[in-house]
Amino acid sequence: MKPVGVELRRIAMPLVSPFRTSFGTQTTRDILLVRIETADGEGYGECVTMTDPVYSPEYTDGAIDVLRRFLVPALLGPPELDPRAVAPALVAFKGHRMAKAALETAVLDAWLRARALSFGEWLGATADRVPAGVSVGIMDSVPELLDAVEGYLADGYLRIKLKIEPGWDVEPVRAVRERFGDDVLLQVDANTAYTVADAQHLARLDEFGLLLIEQPLDEEDIRGHAQLARLVRTPICLDESIVSARAAADAIALGACSIVNIKPGRVGGYLEARRIHDVCAAHGVPVWCGGMLESGLGRAANVALAALPGFTLPGDTSASGRYYMTDITEPFVLQDGHLLVPQGPGIGVSPVPERLAEVTVSTEWIGR
Report helix, strand or coil for 274: helix
Report helix, strand or coil for 133: strand
The answer to whether the CB of 82 falls within 8 A of the CB of 111 is: yes
Which residue in 2, 100, 161, 263 is the catalytic one? 263
CA 12/CA 15 separation, integer angstroms: 10
Element (H or E) spanning 171, and its range? helix 170-180
Q: Count Cβ neighbours within 10 Å for each residue of 215-234 and write b for 16 or more, e otherwise.
A: bbbbbebbebbbebbeebeb
100 is catalytic: no
Q: Residue 275: what are its φ and ψ, rounded to 5°?
A: -65, -40
The answer to whether the CB of 100 falls within 8 A of the CB of 62 is: no
Measured CA to CA in angstroms, residue 37 lies from 40, 65, 77, 84, 294 at distances of 8, 20, 14, 18, 22
Starting at the edge strand found earlier in the chain, the sheet holding 159-163 runs: 133-136, 159-163, 186-189, 213-214, 236-238, 259-262, 287-289
Taking the alpha carbons at both ends of the chain, their separation in whole angstroms is 14
163 is catalytic: yes
Active site residues: 163, 263
